[in-house]
Structure 1
Protein backbone atom coordinates (compact mmCIF):
# COMPACT_ATOMS: atom_id res chain seq x y z
CA UNK A 1 0.00 0.00 0.00
CA UNK A 2 2.89 2.38 0.63
CA UNK A 3 4.22 1.71 -2.85
CA UNK A 4 0.76 2.11 -4.37
CA UNK A 5 0.41 5.45 -2.57
CA UNK A 6 3.68 6.65 -4.10
CA UNK A 7 2.71 5.60 -7.62
CA UNK A 8 -1.01 6.30 -7.91
CA UNK A 9 -2.00 9.38 -9.87
CA UNK A 10 -4.18 12.09 -8.37
CA UNK A 11 -7.82 11.02 -8.65
CA UNK A 12 -6.79 7.36 -8.82
CA UNK A 13 -7.97 4.25 -7.03
CA UNK A 14 -6.29 1.83 -4.66
CA UNK A 15 -8.06 -1.45 -3.93
CA UNK A 16 -6.59 -3.74 -1.28
CA UNK A 17 -7.81 -7.30 -0.92
CA UNK A 18 -8.92 -8.53 2.47
CA UNK A 19 -11.37 -11.33 3.28
CA UNK A 20 -14.84 -11.80 4.64
CA UNK A 21 -13.16 -14.06 7.18
CA UNK A 22 -12.25 -11.07 9.33
CA UNK A 23 -15.95 -10.92 10.28
CA UNK A 24 -15.95 -14.56 11.42
CA UNK A 25 -14.04 -16.67 13.90
CA UNK A 26 -12.34 -19.60 12.21
CA UNK A 27 -9.86 -21.71 14.10
CA UNK A 28 -6.27 -22.00 12.87
CA UNK A 29 -6.52 -18.78 10.84
CA UNK A 30 -5.14 -16.25 13.32
CA UNK A 31 -2.10 -15.21 11.27
CA UNK A 32 -4.01 -15.00 7.99
CA UNK A 33 -6.96 -13.12 9.46
CA UNK A 34 -4.67 -10.93 11.53
CA UNK A 35 -2.79 -9.86 8.42
CA UNK A 36 -6.06 -9.11 6.61
CA UNK A 37 -7.34 -7.15 9.61
CA UNK A 38 -4.19 -5.06 9.37
CA UNK A 39 -4.89 -4.41 5.68
CA UNK A 40 -8.34 -3.11 6.63
CA UNK A 41 -6.79 -0.67 9.11
CA UNK A 42 -4.15 0.45 6.61
CA UNK A 43 -6.94 1.24 4.14
CA UNK A 44 -8.75 3.44 6.65
CA UNK A 45 -5.62 5.45 7.45
CA UNK A 46 -4.35 5.67 3.89
CA UNK A 47 -7.74 6.90 2.68
CA UNK A 48 -7.32 9.93 4.96
CA UNK A 49 -3.76 10.51 3.84
CA UNK A 50 -4.60 10.37 0.13
CA UNK A 51 -7.98 12.10 0.28
CA UNK A 52 -6.53 15.52 -0.53
CA UNK A 53 -5.28 14.01 -3.80
CA UNK A 54 -8.79 12.64 -4.56
CA UNK A 55 -7.42 9.09 -4.40
CA UNK A 56 -9.88 6.55 -3.06
CA UNK A 57 -8.56 3.67 -0.97
CA UNK A 58 -10.84 0.73 -0.22
CA UNK A 59 -10.64 -2.88 0.84
CA UNK A 60 -12.46 -5.58 -1.10
CA UNK A 61 -13.34 -8.58 1.05
CA UNK A 62 -14.39 -11.64 -0.92
CA UNK A 63 -16.38 -14.34 0.81
CA UNK A 64 -16.39 -18.01 -0.06
CA UNK A 65 -15.30 -18.06 -3.69
CA UNK A 66 -14.72 -20.87 -6.18
CA UNK A 67 -10.92 -20.84 -6.09
CA UNK A 68 -8.23 -23.31 -5.06
CA UNK A 69 -8.18 -21.61 -1.64
CA UNK A 70 -11.59 -23.07 -0.75
CA UNK A 71 -11.27 -26.77 0.09
CA UNK A 72 -13.77 -29.11 -1.53
CA UNK A 73 -14.88 -30.35 1.89
CA UNK A 74 -16.06 -26.84 2.85
CA UNK A 75 -17.93 -25.87 -0.30
CA UNK A 76 -21.38 -27.23 0.56
CA UNK A 77 -21.30 -25.66 4.02
CA UNK A 78 -20.13 -22.35 2.54
CA UNK A 79 -22.89 -22.39 -0.07
CA UNK A 80 -25.45 -23.02 2.65
CA UNK A 81 -24.33 -19.90 4.52
CA UNK A 82 -25.30 -17.60 1.64
CA UNK A 83 -28.88 -16.49 0.99
CA UNK A 84 -28.13 -17.28 -2.66
CA UNK A 85 -27.35 -20.92 -1.81
CA UNK A 86 -24.03 -20.97 -3.63
CA UNK A 87 -20.41 -19.91 -3.34
CA UNK A 88 -19.19 -16.96 -5.33
CA UNK A 89 -17.64 -17.15 -8.75
CA UNK A 90 -14.42 -15.22 -9.34
CA UNK A 91 -16.41 -12.99 -11.71
CA UNK A 92 -18.75 -12.01 -8.84
CA UNK A 93 -15.80 -10.57 -6.95
CA UNK A 94 -14.12 -9.13 -10.05
CA UNK A 95 -17.26 -7.14 -10.89
CA UNK A 96 -17.11 -5.47 -7.48
CA UNK A 97 -13.43 -4.64 -8.06
CA UNK A 98 -14.30 -3.09 -11.43
CA UNK A 99 -16.93 -0.95 -9.71
CA UNK A 100 -14.44 0.20 -7.05
CA UNK A 101 -11.98 1.14 -9.78
CA UNK A 102 -14.60 3.14 -11.68
CA UNK A 103 -15.66 6.75 -11.41
CA UNK A 104 -18.99 5.57 -9.98
CA UNK A 105 -17.12 4.70 -6.75
CA UNK A 106 -15.56 8.16 -6.42
CA UNK A 107 -17.44 8.84 -3.16
CA UNK A 108 -16.34 5.61 -1.46
CA UNK A 109 -13.10 5.68 0.46
CA UNK A 110 -11.80 4.04 3.61
CA UNK A 111 -14.43 1.32 3.21
CA UNK A 112 -14.33 -2.44 3.45
CA UNK A 113 -16.65 -3.71 0.74
CA UNK A 114 -17.94 -7.19 1.48
CA UNK A 115 -18.35 -9.32 -1.65
CA UNK A 116 -19.53 -12.47 0.06
CA UNK A 117 -23.00 -13.18 -1.20
CA UNK A 118 -24.64 -12.19 2.07
CA UNK A 119 -22.46 -14.32 4.35
CA UNK A 120 -21.56 -12.29 7.41
Structure 2
Protein backbone atom coordinates (compact mmCIF):
# COMPACT_ATOMS: atom_id res chain seq x y z
CA UNK A 1 0.00 0.00 0.00
CA UNK A 2 1.30 3.44 -0.99
CA UNK A 3 0.86 6.40 1.34
CA UNK A 4 1.02 9.88 -0.10
CA UNK A 5 2.34 12.58 2.17
CA UNK A 6 1.16 16.12 1.55
CA UNK A 7 -1.61 15.13 -0.86
CA UNK A 8 -4.23 17.20 0.98
CA UNK A 9 -1.90 20.22 1.04
CA UNK A 10 -1.25 19.87 -2.69
CA UNK A 11 -4.98 19.62 -3.39
CA UNK A 12 -5.63 22.70 -1.26
CA UNK A 13 -2.88 24.65 -3.01
CA UNK A 14 -4.18 23.71 -6.46
CA UNK A 15 -7.70 24.81 -5.53
CA UNK A 16 -6.36 28.12 -4.23
CA UNK A 17 -4.35 28.70 -7.42
CA UNK A 18 -7.39 27.85 -9.52
CA UNK A 19 -9.53 30.41 -7.69
CA UNK A 20 -6.82 33.05 -8.07
CA UNK A 21 -6.47 32.44 -11.79
CA UNK A 22 -10.27 32.53 -12.23
CA UNK A 23 -10.36 35.91 -10.45
CA UNK A 24 -7.54 37.25 -12.64
CA UNK A 25 -9.29 36.09 -15.81
CA UNK A 26 -12.57 37.59 -14.62
CA UNK A 27 -10.83 40.93 -13.97
CA UNK A 28 -9.22 40.84 -17.42
CA UNK A 29 -12.53 40.14 -19.15
CA UNK A 30 -14.17 43.00 -17.25
CA UNK A 31 -11.38 45.41 -18.27
CA UNK A 32 -11.66 44.30 -21.90
CA UNK A 33 -15.44 44.68 -21.88
CA UNK A 34 -15.27 48.22 -20.49
CA UNK A 35 -12.48 49.21 -22.90
CA UNK A 36 -14.39 47.86 -25.90
CA UNK A 37 -17.59 49.63 -24.88
CA UNK A 38 -15.74 52.93 -24.96
CA UNK A 39 -14.03 52.17 -28.26
CA UNK A 40 -17.25 51.07 -29.98
CA UNK A 41 -19.11 54.12 -28.63
CA UNK A 42 -16.35 56.37 -29.97
CA UNK A 43 -16.59 54.69 -33.37
CA UNK A 44 -20.38 55.11 -33.53
CA UNK A 45 -20.21 58.59 -35.03
CA UNK A 46 -21.90 58.65 -38.40
CA UNK A 47 -21.50 61.21 -41.15
CA UNK A 48 -24.07 59.88 -43.58
CA UNK A 49 -27.82 60.27 -43.24
CA UNK A 50 -29.83 61.14 -40.18
CA UNK A 51 -28.09 60.71 -36.84
CA UNK A 52 -29.50 61.46 -33.39
CA UNK A 53 -26.88 59.72 -31.27
CA UNK A 54 -29.39 57.13 -30.09
CA UNK A 55 -27.39 54.16 -31.39
CA UNK A 56 -24.27 55.46 -29.64
CA UNK A 57 -26.13 55.96 -26.35
CA UNK A 58 -27.57 52.45 -26.43
CA UNK A 59 -24.22 50.63 -26.76
CA UNK A 60 -23.72 48.80 -23.48
CA UNK A 61 -21.87 45.99 -21.83
CA UNK A 62 -22.72 43.76 -18.92
CA UNK A 63 -21.19 40.94 -16.94
CA UNK A 64 -23.00 37.66 -17.51
CA UNK A 65 -20.96 35.31 -15.36
CA UNK A 66 -17.50 34.46 -14.28
CA UNK A 67 -15.09 35.51 -17.06
CA UNK A 68 -18.01 36.29 -19.38
CA UNK A 69 -19.61 39.48 -20.57
CA UNK A 70 -21.73 40.90 -23.34
CA UNK A 71 -21.10 43.95 -25.47
CA UNK A 72 -24.18 44.88 -27.45
CA UNK A 73 -25.82 47.51 -29.56
CA UNK A 74 -29.53 46.89 -28.94
CA UNK A 75 -30.91 49.55 -31.28
CA UNK A 76 -33.14 47.68 -33.70
CA UNK A 77 -31.37 49.28 -36.68
CA UNK A 78 -27.77 48.59 -35.57
CA UNK A 79 -27.34 45.80 -38.08
CA UNK A 80 -28.50 47.99 -40.95
CA UNK A 81 -25.96 50.66 -40.07
CA UNK A 82 -23.18 48.11 -39.53
CA UNK A 83 -23.77 46.07 -42.70
CA UNK A 84 -25.64 48.53 -44.91
CA UNK A 85 -28.69 47.93 -47.05
CA UNK A 86 -29.44 48.24 -50.73
CA UNK A 87 -30.42 51.86 -50.04
CA UNK A 88 -27.45 52.88 -47.89
CA UNK A 89 -23.78 52.08 -47.60
CA UNK A 90 -22.43 50.27 -44.57
CA UNK A 91 -20.98 52.39 -41.78
CA UNK A 92 -19.19 49.73 -39.70
CA UNK A 93 -18.77 50.70 -36.07
CA UNK A 94 -19.01 47.47 -34.07
CA UNK A 95 -17.12 44.47 -35.45
CA UNK A 96 -14.34 46.44 -37.16
CA UNK A 97 -13.60 48.26 -33.92
CA UNK A 98 -13.40 45.01 -31.98
CA UNK A 99 -11.15 43.47 -34.64
CA UNK A 100 -8.80 46.46 -34.53
CA UNK A 101 -8.48 46.01 -30.76
CA UNK A 102 -7.52 42.31 -30.89
CA UNK A 103 -3.87 43.00 -30.13
CA UNK A 104 -4.80 45.17 -27.14
CA UNK A 105 -7.19 42.47 -25.92
CA UNK A 106 -4.40 39.89 -26.01
CA UNK A 107 -2.06 42.24 -24.12
CA UNK A 108 -4.65 42.80 -21.39
CA UNK A 109 -5.19 39.06 -21.05
CA UNK A 110 -1.48 38.41 -20.80
CA UNK A 111 -0.87 41.16 -18.23
CA UNK A 112 -3.84 40.35 -16.02
CA UNK A 113 -3.47 36.58 -15.96
CA UNK A 114 0.20 36.42 -15.02
Q: TM-score, normalised by structure 2?
A: 0.28
Larger radius of gyration between Structure 1 and Structure 2: 2
More helix by share: 2
Structure with larger RCO (C-alpha < 8 A, sep 6+): 1
Q: TM-score, normalised by structure 1?
A: 0.27
